[in-house]
Homo-oligomer: A and B are copies of this chain.
Amino acid sequence: MRQVRPNGLPAYKRIQGAILKRLESGQLKPGDAVDSERELAKIHRVSLMTARHALAGLEREGMVVRRRGAGTFIAPPKIHFNKLMSYTEQMAGRSLAVSSKLLSLGVIDTEQEIAARLALPATSPLIKVERLRLGANEPFAIETCYLSAGDFAGLTQSPLDRISLFSILEHDYGLEIAHADEEIDATTADPHTARLLGIAHDAPVLRIRQVIYSTKGKTALYVLGLYRSDRHTLLIRRFR
């Protein structure tokens, strides 16, 4: 028999989409049973293997749980551990009154070490964005981002004081972020940092250096973050 693809999508993805849609619409809640393989096969007029493939994919993504002899069920709501989120996204999830203040924005070409971390030639021009992060009107972090000035030309004209840097990169520059490698340690606040964060000179701060990679495997961003450790802890889940 010929394969027919009305939407241009493989059948198993159509089936996954149909289930996800029912989940998003609230028609399906965690714990609810999903149609069985055989039911899905009938409904979508595919073979059992194809229906299986659809459910197996959803299980791999953690959307459903399959129990032999019992059925397939919507998985409990995901806890997003170790997810890379922009500051704006993180705060949106906590309903905290937050804001961000642009400290500086410019192009530099003297930061050899940072160019190296971005896998760029030593004297490449870099855009440097320095921002103060505030929660409940109290500063709690300084984040300094470095990007290739060549790859993100025009970024210095963007309204970074109003719009999330991540969303500008994603929407205006088509950047797709894949993952970040982070190096975490503790240090003491230098006078400049201490003044901006409103903490004592030599107070401990959490330092996070991120190298952010695009889905194409390219280094896209280097971010240095300094966090008041009295207001900020990092939560991580690690697996055996």
Contact = CB atoms under 8 A, between A and B. Distances in A.
A83 to B, nearest CB: 7
A60 B49 CA distance: 19
Interface in A136-164: none
A233 interface: yes
Nearest to A181: B237
A184 B183 CA distance: 12
Nearest to A60: B60
B179 A238 contact: yes
B186 A237 contact: no
B206 A186 contact: yes
Interface of A: 49, 60, 81-84, 177-188, 202-207, 227, 229, 232-240
Given A182-B238, A186-B227, 15 more contacts: A82-B237, A83-B239, A84-B238, A177-B240, A179-B237, A179-B239, A184-B184, A184-B236, A185-B229, A186-B204, A186-B206, A186-B207, A186-B229, A206-B206, A236-B236
A49 B52 CA distance: 13
